[in-house]
Structure 1
């Protein structure tokens, strides 16, 4: 049977509990569109564990018979984002003790993982740079390095981190070079700051981009 954890909301505007009138509420539960404080929702005995420490969060959650997910709405991204958990105090204490006991082991593991990821990043960047040089042999070396570094940044979702980019798809690599030329060698950013719609700005700078790419292809 799949477990479904209660969801606790950190309201952007402080509210009051519909049952006991307590408030303004730092955290609340929405139950059938009714705002409840944690005590009225039978979660008042739980303690808050902020997000950030993966091992501590996992252990506290596993050791807590009852736990709840804490979220807050991000207006800019128009979505709810996780802030942490509410867990039993005893479970949190046990999790903290367990994390303290193997802190050195986990620190060494993180260090090894960091070295491994750094080596992977170098390989991705160098491979992408080599393909840029092949497709655009007259591209200045400093721009090759700049484009490869920008496009392959870990966690960015940019071309170098997509499946097409890792496979050195010609279109994906060209898109990364084109994006660099658009921002560095044209007035595209200035046009955006002047309020020109993005599609219109791209159309206006397209001839300049094509000229630069032809020159770099040789």
Structure 2
């Protein structure tokens, strides 16, 4: 049978208990639309465990016969967000002891997981770099590396972290290269700083971007491999 934990609210404005009339309340439950303090709700013996330590939270919840979820309303996001748990004090003590006992083992496990993620992320970056150079063979290799690293940065939400980017979709890879050229090889950023609307700025620099991309697609530029032609548009 699924457990249904009580929900405790941290009120944003001053509230008093509808039964004992104590207040203002730091935390309360809501019964039939009325605020009730934790003592009257038979939750006053529980202690607060703030969210953040996943292992401690899980163990304290498992050890506690009675526990409650603590939430607070976020007005900006218009939703309730979890702040932590209320658990039995003895359960929290047992959970803390268990976490302390295997601190080293959990640290080693986190290190192994981080290493595996780093290897996986490096593979994503290298695959993206290779595809960039395949599509743009005249691009300098260091520039391809720079674009691949930027586009595949973890947590960035950029092209390299999308499904299309990981699948090395031609359009996604080209979009990453195009974005790099826009910011590095054209006065696009300077135009934005002068107050030019984004769409107008993109239109202005579009010919320069296409010139650079065509050059990188075509092959070596004489003796200096990968150097784009001088368009005269890059800011000093």
Same-fold call, TM > 0.5? yes
Compared with structure 1, are the counterparts of its residues 181 and 80 closer, same or farther at alpha carbon in structure 2 (3 Å cutoff)? farther
Structure 1: gaps of 5 or more residues:
none
Give, in angstroms, the shift of residue 157 of structure 1.
3.0
Give, in angstroms, the shift of residue 108 of structure 1.
1.5
Compared with structure 1, are the counterparts of its residues 133 and 30 closer, same or farther at alpha carbon in structure 2 (3 Å cutoff)? farther
Compared with structure 1, are the counterparts of its residues 193 and 124 closer, same or farther at alpha carbon in structure 2 (3 Å cutoff)? same
Structure 2: gaps of 5 or more residues:
219-236
Instruction: Give distance in 2, aligned partners of 1:33 and 1:213.
Output: 63
In 2, are the aligned partners of 1:14 and 1:26 still within 8 Å (CA)?
Answer: no
Q: Secondary structure at the match of 1:209?
A: helix
* Residue number in structure 2 paired with 1:90: 90
* Residue number in structure 1 paired with 2:132: 132
Q: Deviations over 1:49-74 (max 9, x none)?
A: 12222211111111112222233344
Q: Deviations over 1:175-214 (max 9, x none)?
A: 2223333444445555656666655554554444333333
Compared with structure 1, are the counterparts of its residues 22 and 108 closer, same or farther at alpha carbon in structure 2 (3 Å cutoff)? same
Give, in angstroms, the shift of residue 167 of structure 1.
1.4
Q: Secondary structure at the match of 1:105?
A: helix
- Structure 2 counterparts to residues 100-179 of structure 1, below 5 A: 100-179=100-179
Q: Deviations over 1:18-58 (max 9, x none)?
A: 51444444334344443443334433222121222221111
Higher CA-based Rg? 2
TM-score if structure 2 supplies the norm length? 0.76
In 2, are the aligned partners of 1:28 and 1:37 still within 8 Å (CA)?
Answer: yes
Aligned length: 217
Instruction: Give distance in 2, aligned partners of 1:79 and 1:184.
Output: 41
In 2, are the aligned partners of 1:48 and 1:85 still within 8 Å (CA)?
Answer: yes
Q: Deviations over 1:153-174 (max 9, x none)?
A: 2233332222222211112222
Instruction: Give distance in 2, aligned partners of 1:138 and 1:74.
Output: 51
In 1, are the aligned partners of 2:6 and 2:67 still within 8 Å (CA)?
Answer: yes
Q: Secondary structure at the match of 1:44?
A: coil
Instruction: Give distance in 2, aligned partners of 1:74 and 1:194.
Output: 37
Instruction: Give distance in 1, aligned partners of 2:153 and 2:81.
Output: 24
Q: Secondary structure at the match of 1:104?
A: helix
Q: Secondary structure at the match of 2:62?
A: helix
TM-score if structure 1 supplies the norm length? 0.81
Query: C-alpha root-mean-square deviation of aligned residues, in Å?
Result: 2.9
Q: Secondary structure at the match of 1:173?
A: helix
Q: Secondary structure at the match of 1:84?
A: strand
